[in-house]
Amino acid sequence: MIYNVDKETLPREDMEALQLRRLKDLCERVYARVPFYKKKFDEAGITPADIRSLNDLQYLPFTEKQDLRNHYPYGMFAVPKENIVRLHASSGTTGRATVVGYTQRDLDIWAECIARSLMMAGATRRDIIHNAYGYGLFTGGLGVHFGAEKLGATVVPVSGGATRRQISLLKDFGPTVICCTPSYMIFLHETAREMGIDFRELPLKIGVFGAEPWTDEMRRDIEAKTGITAVNIYGLSEVMGPGVSMECHEAQCGMHIYEDHFLPEIIDPSNGKAMGPGETGELVFTTLTKEGIPLIRYRTKDLSSLNYTPCVCGRSTVRMDRIKGRSDDMLIIRGVNVFPSQIESLLLETAGLTPHYQIIVRREGPLDTMEVQVEVDEKMFSDAIKNLQHRERELQKNIKEFLGVTASVKLVEPQSIERSVGKAKRVIDQRGE
Ligand code: ADP
Ligand code: K
Ligand code: ZN
């Protein structure tokens, strides 16, 4: 079943005509209302009237996460503030967070994208949906929530955490669909086993997993252990939140992008040049209909490729491949985005610590763990051990508070972290080893 047959099965020429109309309108809007874009267009010597075909997209400037940070909090908004009805933000220390605002129409479109996604996963209004994505400033929880209601399903707003209680709810409420990160699903399964509950005996039949990278092997593993069909959902706050693209349960082969709202491109991250279908590069999105914070050619830093071949599910929309990596140093720890630079700024705010550090990421069981090793300065090193422990706890608390992830902190002697001549090696990622 297809939620919006009209848009999701549009022939390519009609889709492109719609995209061009919307692109022109978008350029007019941002040029008139967002000084950042007016300046960028002027510098590139281009006006909205110059956009005559989709091919002209290549002349438009890119937008990056740093641009949103530079205009924190509201500088990139394209509507008067009273028209914004909700804000979300990605994790980060003050001034570094990325803030996004939605008009009522933006929220309606988002809910529809999620409704399309849930139906693409095989859900209908008769399903009960256990939503374990985090509610709050993150886009995951509320994004999925309103889409599930729009579909007309029954949503259980559990949010993250309190895992044993989640298992009880899965048993008692009998949801047929679960939405969470893939690693949390594995953790839920393990916890259930400890509690003597077999997932295969629950009514659960569909899992909608995303917010962090995972593999096809992990999918097969989850499916075998839990007896559900596992599908991949993708999105990012800057562009909207979850539901930018979604995998259909029929093919389980790439995520259909809602092209009537998000115009995708793949570029070579080293020079910004367009790459062809099937070639792996950085995914770039232009938000064709967004009002609150419309973005032109937003560089996601996520690596993927595009597949325009027809899909067995009957949808005509382009599919993006599973995310293959990042073109920057962002880490995703249990669904939460973490940049080494955020850790660094916290170190600099803590007395006695130096900016010589290393982040070690491991996978222990199903869950990612993060250890931050930091060199103390000479003075701190000569101090009493209890002072060191105090600093460790202080940093640990700050990381939890500002970044929303739990890290273990280990203070080490001055000069003990290896110095590098080129780019410092900040992250040692031992997951997947
Ligand atoms: P979300 O809450 O949807 O994860 P964020 O803005 O916090 O939104 O994070 C977005 C980033 O998370 C993406 O740029 C991508 O790196 C990662 N991500 C989201 N969904 C997936 C997915 N299905 N597979 C791999 N990575 C994903
Ligand atoms: K994420
Ligand atoms: Zn399909």
Q: Is 71 exposed, middle or buried (0-12, 13-18, 19+ CB in 10 A)?
A: middle
Give the per-residue pLDDT at 433: 64
Q: Which of 106, 162, 109, 157 minimizes the C-alpha distance to 130?
A: 157
- Which residues, at least 6 apart from 218, have a Cβ–Cβ distance to it below 8 Å? 182, 186
What residue segments make up the domains of the chain, in order of their start? 81-328, 336-429
**Average pLDDT of the chain, as a whole number:** 94
Q: Which amino acid is at 12?
A: R
State in Å: Cα 376 to ligand 2 middle. 31
Q: Which atom of ligand 1 is nearest to the CA of 98?
A: 6
State in Å: Cα 211 to ligand 3 middle. 20
Average pLDDT over residues 70-84: 96
Euclidean distance between CA atoms 348 and 354, whole angstroms: 7
Average pLDDT over residues 97-123: 97
Least confident segment among 93-97, 102-106, 254-258, 427-431? 93-97
Least confident segment among 39-53, 93-107, 223-237, 269-283? 93-107
Tens digits of residue pLDDT in 336-392: 899 888 898 888 888 889 888 999 999 888 889 999 999 999 988 888 888 889 999
300 lines ligand 1 (CB under 6 A): yes
Give the per-residue pLDDT at 125: 98
Q: Which residues have a beta carbon within 5 Å of ligand 2, which is an ion?
A: 211, 337
Of the two residues 423 and 130, the one the predictor is more confident about is 130
Q: Which of 24, 100, 114, 17 minimizes the C-alpha distance to 60?
A: 24
Give the per-residue pLDDT at 92: 57
Domain 336-429: top CATH class: alpha beta
Q: Is the pLDDT of residue 410 over 50?
A: yes
Mutation to probe ligand 1, out of 100, 301, 332, 342 (largest number of atoms < 8 A from CB): 332
Mutation to probe ligand 1, out of 88, 185, 234 (largest number of atoms < 8 A from CB): 234
237 lines ligand 1 (CB under 6 A): yes
Of the two residues 387 and 100, the one the predictor is more confident about is 100
Q: Which residues have a beta carbon within 5 Å of ligand 3, which is an ion?
A: 248, 251, 311, 313, 315
Tens digits of residue pLDDT in 139-158: 999 999 999 999 999 999 99
Least confident segment among 139-143, 163-167, 302-306, 351-355? 351-355
138 lines ligand 1 (CB under 6 A): yes
Mutation to probe ligand 1, out of 179, 184, 209, 212 (largest number of atoms < 8 A from CB): 212
Q: Please give the sequence-ordered ranges of beta strands (E in DSSP) within 335-393, or none if there are none.
A: 336-338, 353-364, 367-376
- Residue 96: which pLDDT band, with cuts at 50, 70 and 90? low
pLDDT > 70: percent of the chain: 98
State in Å: Cα 418 to ligand 2 middle. 30
117 lines ligand 1 (CB under 6 A): no
Euclidean distance between CA atoms 134 and 166, whole angstroms: 13
Q: Which atom of ligand 1 is nearest to the CA of 326?
A: 16
CA atoms within 13 A on the CB side of 52: 1
Q: Which fold has domain 81-328?
A: Rossmann fold (3.40.50)
Give the per-residue pLDDT at 91: 67
Give the per-residue pLDDT at 29: 98
ipTM reported for the complex, 2 dp: 0.98
State in Å: Cα 71 to ligand 2 middle. 22
Q: Is 345 exposed, middle or buried (0-12, 13-18, 19+ CB in 10 A)?
A: middle
Mutation to probe ligand 1, out of 214, 304, 323 (largest number of atoms < 8 A from CB): 323
Least confident segment among 57-66, 279-288, 334-343? 334-343
Give the per-residue pLDDT at 354: 87
- Residue 228: which pLDDT band, with cuts at 50, 70 and 90? very high
Give the per-residue pLDDT at 95: 47
Tens digits of residue pLDDT in 2-37: 999 999 999 999 999 999 999 999 999 999 999 999
Euclidean distance between CA atoms 198 and 171, whole angstroms: 10
What is the residue with the minimal CA distance to atom 2 of ligand 1? 140
State in Å: Cα 113 to ligand 3 middle. 15
pLDDT > 90: percent of the chain: 83
List C-alpha distances in Å: 85 to 19, 80, 105, 287, 339: 26, 11, 10, 18, 29
Give the per-residue pLDDT at 418: 85
Give the position of tokens 């503030």.
81
Q: Which two tokens stand for residue 268?
A: 């070579």
What is the residue with the minimal CA distance to atom 24 of ligand 1? 213
226 lines ligand 1 (CB under 6 A): no
- Residue 211: which pLDDT band, with cuts at 50, 70 and 90? very high
Q: Which atom of ligand 1 is nearest to the CA of 302?
A: 16
Give the per-residue pLDDT at 365: 82
